[in-house]
Structures are given as C-alpha cells and as structure tokens.
Structure 1
Amino acid sequence: MPKVYARRVTVAAGSAAALVCTLVLGTQPAQAAPPTPPDTATARTYLAQLTEQAEGTLDGYSRGKFPHWSDQGNNCNTREVVLKRDGENVQTDGKCAATSGTWKSAYDDGVWTKASDVDIDHVVPLAEAWRSGARQWTTARREQLANDLTHSQLIAVTDNVNQAKGDKDPAKWLPPKTSYHCTYARMWVSVKHVYGLTADKTEKAALKKILDRC
C-alpha cells in the first residue's frame, strides 16, 4: 500500500475555501479524463458562433428538471460510470457503486481515495444551462445534458472545489489549477456549442481571453 497523508491547502480562487487534500505518495493516480474537447482553434471558432445574449432568469429552475444520475445499464448510473472512468483501481460493492479507488482532480490536483470526497462536476452547470436556453427544452433534452458521457460535460473533481464553483461561469470562476484553464475553456465552449446554449458578454470575453493565450 502507498503511504497516505493529508495536509491542508488554501485555495486562492474565487470564493473557494481552504480544503483538505489527501495526497498519495508512491503512485501515479489517474487524471480525470472526460472525452477530449475540440482543439483550441476549433474552440475559438465555436466561441465566435455562440449567440451572445444576457442570461435569462432562474425562475422555475430546479435540479429535478435535469434528471440525473440516469441508469447506464449493468446496474450503473452516470455518477458511477464517471467514477470508474476517472479513477484508478476502483473497487465496487459487487454491483457498481465505488467503495474505494484513487481519483486525481484535474481542477486542483487533489488526490482522493474515498468516492465520497469526489463530486461529478457538470462543466456547464445545470443552473447556467437553464439561464442560457435549457429552460425552453424538453425534460428529455435536459436529462441528456445532465448525463452526457459523450462530450466533455462530466468530470470527477474535489467536492469542495466543485461546491465553490457552484453555478458560476468562467467570468466568475476558473479551476484553481491555472494550467488547466485552457482545457476547461475548451470543454465549456464545446458543450455550449453542442447544445446550442447562449453566452453572455462577460462570459464570452473571459473565454476569448483564455483561448487567446492557449
């Protein structure tokens, strides 16, 4: 067994509070790996094509209008599929629920050995999607976004970091790990492009600034 210890790390990004990361020595844990988003040049093109529009209201929104985590077959739901995909040496309860493993969060390089310390982040948050056009969708379409394993919409990350993100767009929040900003922006733009979601002025400007530096 590798040696495991914990230390407290202060994350100075947005409203993220100090959090405890479990660091595992003597091993190279799996990096969270959603489907690879389009390259930077393509992301710039997609960003320019996004309809610029002020965010809509949250009136009527609830997470229940984006059903998740949906059944993915073989006794697995979407969360469990992502935990297996993004983890290393993932052990289950004999069905599909992860009981142990190692997960490295791409957002902050936190390493975790308990599934309960890991959140599955919706890269484009569900509330953000609602304000950007999903309010008009069918429930089936919203369920597709909330459980999308085909595009770069779901990723296993440190729970505290995900909670600090909330429903903020890239103008208000970016992963603490600055070297991941380019990938994050490509992921965000790709999802909004695929689903025909809008982007407000400050969001587009923030994304353009990131992509222009990549």
Structure 2
Amino acid sequence: MKKVYARRRLSILAVLTGLIASAALFNSPSASAALPTPVSAATARSYLSQLTVATENRTGYSRSLFPHWITISGTCNTRETVLKRDGSNVVTDSSCAATSGSWYSPYDGATWTAASDLDIDHLVPLAEAWDSGASKWTTAQRQAFANDLTRPQLIAVTDNVNQAKGDQDPATWVPSRSAYVCTYVRAWVQVKYYYDLSVDSAEKTALTNYLTSC
C-alpha cells in the first residue's frame, strides 16, 4: 500500500513539475512572442488629439542617457529578445546570440537570414523622445523607454533602413513599404501618448494626414 501511495506522490510531483516548467516557458521573455499590435486608427486619432504640440528642444541630448540594451532574462538582452521574438526558427547559442533564423523587415519588405543584417529600431527614436519630453525624465524612466517590449516601440528591421531613418519623425520619414505606414503611425502615436511626449506642428500634421487614410 505504501508503494502505491509513493508512486502516486511521484506521479503528482511529475505533473506539477511539468506544469511549472510549461508556465515558466510561457512567461519567459525568450519564449516565442508576437510584436505588440498598435492601437486602432480611431484610437490613434483620439490619442493624437490629446498630445501637446510644442517646439522640440535637443539641448543636452546624448544616446548614453538612455541605457540599453539591458538584460531581460538569463543571458538575453533586449536586442537578442527582440531578434528572437521577431524572427522565425531562430536558434541562439549559450550567450543568447542568434546563430541562425529568418527575419522579415516590415519597413522595406526584405528578408534576412543573418542577425547582423538587422537593427532593432526604436520606433520613436531616443533623440526624438528627448526632444519631446524625455529630457525631464529620470535615468530609470529613459531606460524603461529604451527597452520597452510591451508597447510597439522596438522592432527588428533592415540595418541600413534604420540608419537612413535616424532620428526623423513621420513629417520627414515613414517606411518605404506603403502597406506598413498605417501600422507605423498608429504605433508612433500610441508610444507618444503612453509616455506623454509632445509632437511638433509638422509632425502632428503628417500624423493627422496619414491616419485619415488608415
């Protein structure tokens, strides 16, 4: 009888262990996850109407004031987490570096098989955030912004496309792939609204025009 109870206890422990492991995998940042979907066009239009319009000021900006990439889980930092999230069949080594996989860049429609061909774009650039309110934040707040995996703020894209974008806002730059422009501007407004960042007049005009067509 004792052996039967012992076997039952072992069986229950095995099930519990399996459930815990499954939960850990599900909740782990390194597990497969989708890029956050931006708010609807109607919500973006509502958000945009509530944003403060102000002249931008870049005085004192330095990229180093936005600490990134931080450790997200184990040996994986923010860049590596986004690469795994946004790629297909991504394989990583013991240091969490992507050794193989496939990545589709929604900005230009290109597909890449080497992680070195991808940049992680801050959709609302760090300099743009600084210009529109982040200069008043604490370092901890700027770190949270620079590593935000919850809002549609970080995305893996073709490196030279990201470099061409630089710190431009939608008044002067949107993705060349027209099918993604609506998604891009909705995400832009969502991020600015969440972080209570301002827009300049040209930026608001461009966002308003793009959202009208969404």
Alpha-carbon distance between aligned partners in 1 of 2:128 and 2:70, rounded to the nearest angstrom: 20
Equivalent residue for 2:49? 48
How far has the Cα of 1:33 moved from its partner? 4.9
Q: What is the Cα-based RMSD across aligned positions, in Å? A: 1.1
Do 1:34 and 1:153's aligned partners in 2 also have CA atoms closer than 8 Å?
Answer: no
Bigger Cα displacement from structure 2, 113-122 vs 87-96: 87-96
Do 1:170 and 1:207's aligned partners in 2 also have CA atoms closer than 8 Å?
Answer: yes
Q: Please give the secondary structure, in 1, of the residue aligned with 2:99.
A: strand
Alpha-carbon distance between aligned partners in 2 of 1:208 and 1:59, rounded to the nearest angstrom: 27
Alpha-carbon distance between aligned partners in 1 of 2:50 and 2:75, rounded to the nearest angstrom: 39
Amino acid at match of 1:150: T
Give per-residue Cα distances to partners, 1:61-103, cap 9 Å, x unaligned: 1111000001102211000000000000111112311111100
Equivalent residue for 1:39? 40
Query: Residues 1-214 of structure 1: matches in 2 within 5 Å?
Result: 33-56=34-57, 58-214=58-214
More strand by share: 1
TM norm structure 1? 0.83
Give per-residue Cα distances to partners, 1:126-183, cap 9 Å, x unaligned: 0000000000100000000000000000000000100000000000101010111100
Amino acid at match of 1:67: P
More helix by share: 2
Same amino acid, percent of matched pairs = 63
Do 1:171 and 1:206's aligned partners in 2 also have CA atoms closer than 8 Å?
Answer: yes
Q: Please give the secondary structure, in 1, of the residue aligned with 2:148.
A: coil
Give per-residue Cα distances to partners, 1:30-64, cap 9 Å, x unaligned: xx9520111010000000000011111x2211111
Larger Rg, first or second structure (1 or 2): 2
Amino acid at match of 1:193: Y
How far has the Cα of 1:206 moved from its partner? 0.2
Alpha-carbon distance between aligned partners in 2 of 1:127 and 1:33, rounded to the nearest angstrom: 26
Q: Please give the secondary structure, in 2, of the residue aligned with 1:104.
A: strand
Alpha-carbon distance between aligned partners in 2 of 1:165 and 1:48, rounded to the nearest angstrom: 25
Runs of 4+ in 1 over 2 A off after TM superposition: none
Q: Please give the secondary structure, in 2, of the residue aligned with 1:55.
A: coil
Amino acid at match of 1:166: G
Alpha-carbon distance between aligned partners in 2 of 1:120 and 1:194, rounded to the nearest angstrom: 20
List runs of 5+ in structure 1 lacking aligned partners: 1-31
Alpha-carbon distance between aligned partners in 1 of 2:56 and 2:34, rounded to the nearest angstrom: 29
Alpha-carbon distance between aligned partners in 1 of 2:145 and 2:100, rounded to the nearest angstrom: 27
Alpha-carbon distance between aligned partners in 1 of 2:172 and 2:113, rounded to the nearest angstrom: 30
| Equivalent pairs, count | 182
